[in-house]
């Protein structure tokens, strides 16, 4: 089939046409969440944009197999090998076991994804399911001389590679070599500063909850090894696209490539897709800041999660995005107008095939050109304004929604229903209050009657006594 999906490949630093290893089929891997807390809306920005990439590939005809891990062990507070185990931190915080925490936040993650219309990957595998695969990979790396044991742990020796810093160039490489780990404490067992842990047996947490037997003693895997093993388990030795947020580039993805290619003896993954961060106004979004932004928080403030999805789609995945309620309000308004407009279209007549093809091509071009989602949304507006019949517009909206997943055809009706149900709820409340006031007056409890009148006024409802009875109006 024709290969026409282009996007920025972090490995080559160029926008490239994605050519899969097998014609028409794409093997895609996504680094999944560390399930020690709710995902923040920054994490979910990455998953929304990766969902768009997957759906774009499917939209143009690829058969995609997408795999995602669930990190339920081994991810320490720093992405290098220091700090506290994130899962243990979650368990202590909530006085639960690590597995209870993992199950709870895995379910919470998929519930958020559902609300955001993010498709669940074809395969989802928790790291704790694959301990024997991790051990096998570490054994092979030791056999091949890429790994060494020190102080009870097994480390990957990054000096065995000609080019460890595959994602960086020149000056950047030097900076990574000397600078990047300066803020974290040194592990005296490491031969080289950039070496990383493949298997821990000795760590500073005596109370590490999950431990497994291994040829090197009872312990647990390093974080990076899980993505290498889980992807190979389900996608084989060659992969087309690997995704994650930009913070994953170093050290996580750099380490994944180091160990995978040393293990396999050949190139592993051709295209690396990275989503830039969502930041809050104070800077980087984080789960440890306490009151962090979640989908539930947005919902509690009256935002439809799909308005947040549209917020993400309106900017390019490679640019940092700053979150503010003011910007979200603007998008919310635009989203509601858009879906109401689509809801007002009449499902009559026949589809104009030429117009359908014209707009479908524009939409496809926008997405195929480095996943330009804001341009794709502009095509939606252009087609709604165009001089074509409603039936064609509805057919196009339905077709575009296969990728955008904004419930373009159904959200308008839902909104209308919500506003009528709010109206009827308010109306029955007002009528009940009027009745209550009538009773109070009958009982000569005028203070109560006045209080009810004031209560309604506070809710924006004015009542008037007329000869025909009590009437009310919204003020």
* Neighbour tally for 318: CB within 10 Å: 17
Asked if residue 31 binds ligand AMP (CB under 6 A), the reply is: yes
Task: Pick the closer one to ligand AMP by CB: 7 or 363.
Answer: 7
Q: Which does 45 bind (CB under 5 to 8 A by kind): Zn ion, ligand AMP, none?
A: ligand AMP
Instruction: Specify the length of the chain in residues.
Output: 475
DSSP string, 101-136: HHHHHHHHHHHHHHHTTPPPPSEEEEGGG-HHHHHH
One character per residue 255-284, x = contact with ligand AMP (rule: CB under 6 A): --------------------x-xx------
Task: Pick the closer one to ligand AMP by CB: 34 or 254.
Answer: 34
**Is 425 exposed, middle or buried (CB count within 10 Å of its CB: 0-12, 13-18, 19+)?**
exposed
Longest dimension (CA), the chain: 97
Asked if residue 45 binds ligand AMP (CB under 6 A), the reply is: yes
Residues 212-251 that bind ligand AMP (CB under 6 A): 244-245, 247-248
Q: Compute the least distance from the CB of residue 284 to ligand AMP, in Å.
A: 6
Q: Compute the least distance from the CB of residue 272 to ligand AMP, in Å.
A: 12
Q: Which does 227 bind (CB under 5 to 8 A by kind): ligand AMP, Zn ion, none?
A: Zn ion
DSSP string, 349-399: S---HHHHHHHHHHHHHHHHBT--HHHHHHHHHHHHHSSS-HHHHHHHHHH
Residues 52-81 that bind ligand AMP (CB under 6 A): 71
Residues 30-69 that bind Zn ion (CB under 5 A): 31
Q: Which does 43 bind (CB under 5 to 8 A by kind): Zn ion, ligand AMP, none?
A: ligand AMP
Angle between helices 353-368 and 390-404 (to 10 degrees): 20
Task: Pick the closer one to Zn ion by CB: 37 or 433.
Answer: 37
Q: For residue 394, give Cα distances in angstroms to 301, 367, 388.
A: 31, 20, 10
Answer whether 203's CB lies under 8 Å from 222's CB: no
One character per residue 224-243, x = contact with Zn ion (rule: CB under 5 A): ---x----------------
Taking the C-alpha atoms of residue 416 and residue 212, their distance in angstroms, rounded to an integer, is: 55
Answer whether 373's CB lies under 8 Å from 367's CB: yes
SS3 content of the chain, % helix, strand, coil (to 5): 50, 15, 35
Stretch of 27-35, 98-106, 298-306, 371-379 lying at the interface with ligand AMP (CB under 6 A): 27-35
Asked if residue 412 binds ligand AMP (CB under 6 A), the reply is: no
Q: Compute the least distance from the CB of residue 243 to ligand AMP, in Å.
A: 7
Q: Which does 42 bind (CB under 5 to 8 A by kind): Zn ion, ligand AMP, none?
A: ligand AMP
Answer whether 209's CB lies under 8 Å from 240's CB: no
Q: Compute the least distance from the CB of residue 223 to ligand AMP, in Å.
A: 9
Residue ranges that bind ligand AMP, judged by CB under 6 A? 31, 33-34, 42-43, 45-46, 71, 244-245, 247-248, 275, 277-278, 285
Site for Zn ion, rule CB under 5 A: 31, 227
């Amino acid at each position: 089939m024709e290969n026409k999906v282009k996007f920025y490949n972090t490995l080559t630093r160029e926008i490239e046409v994605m050519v899969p290893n097998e014609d028409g089929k794409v093997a895609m891997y996504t680094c999944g969440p560390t399930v020690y807390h709710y995902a923040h809306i920054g994490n979910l920005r990455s998953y929304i944009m990766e969902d768009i990439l997957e759906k774009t590939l499917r939209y143009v005809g690829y058969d995609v197999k997408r795999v995602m891990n669930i990190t339920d062990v081994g991810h320490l507070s720093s992405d290098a090998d220091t700090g506290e185990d994130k899962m243990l931190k979650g368990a202590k915080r909530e006085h639960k076991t690590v597995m209870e925490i993992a199950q709870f936040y895995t379910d919470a993650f998929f519930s958020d994804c559902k609300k955001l219309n993010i498709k669940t990957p074809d395969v989802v595998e928790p790291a704790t399911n694959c301990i024997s695969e991790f051990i096998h990979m570490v054994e092979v790396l030791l056999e091949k001389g890429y790994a060494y044991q020190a102080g009870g742990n097994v480390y990957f020796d990054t000096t065995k590679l000609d080019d460890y810093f595959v994602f960086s160039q020149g000056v950047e490489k030097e900076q990574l070599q000397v600078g990047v780990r300066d803020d974290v404490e040194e592990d005296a067992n490491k031969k080289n500063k950039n070496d990383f842990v493949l298997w821990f047996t000795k760590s500073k947490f005596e109370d590490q909850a999950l431990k497994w037997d291994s040829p090197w003693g009872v312990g647990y895997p390093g974080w990076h090894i899980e993505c290498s093993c889980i992807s190979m388990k389900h996608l084989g030795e060659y992969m087309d696209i690997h995704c994650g947020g930009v913070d994953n580039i170093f050290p996580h993805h750099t380490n994944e490539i180091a160990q995978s290619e040393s293990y396999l003896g050949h190139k592993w993954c051709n295209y690396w897709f990275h989503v830039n961060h969502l930041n809050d106004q104070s800077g980087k979004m984080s789960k440890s800041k306490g009151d962090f932004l979640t989908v539930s928080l947005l919902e509690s403030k009256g935002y439809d999660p799909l308005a947040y999805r549209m917020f993400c789609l309106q900017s390019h995945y490679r640019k940092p995005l700053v979150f503010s309620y003011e910007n979200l309000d603007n998008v919310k308004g635009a989203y509601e107008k858009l879906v109401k407009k689509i809801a007002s279209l009449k499902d009559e007549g026949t589809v104009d095939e030429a117009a359908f093809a014209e707009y479908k091509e524009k939409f496809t071009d926008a997405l195929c050109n480095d996943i330009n989602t804001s341009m794709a949304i502009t095509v939606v507006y252009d087609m709604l304004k165009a001089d074509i019949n409603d039936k064609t517009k509805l057919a196009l909206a339905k077709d575009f929604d296969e990728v955008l997943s904004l419930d373009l055809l159904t959200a308008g009706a839902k909104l209308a229903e919500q506003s009528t149900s709010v109206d009827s709820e308010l109306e029955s409340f007002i009528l009940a209050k009027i009745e209550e006031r009538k009773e109070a007056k009958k009982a000569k409890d005028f203070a109560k009657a006045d209080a009810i009148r004031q209560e309604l006024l506070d809710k924006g409802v004015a009542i008037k006594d007329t000869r025909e009875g009590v009437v009310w109006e919204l003020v």
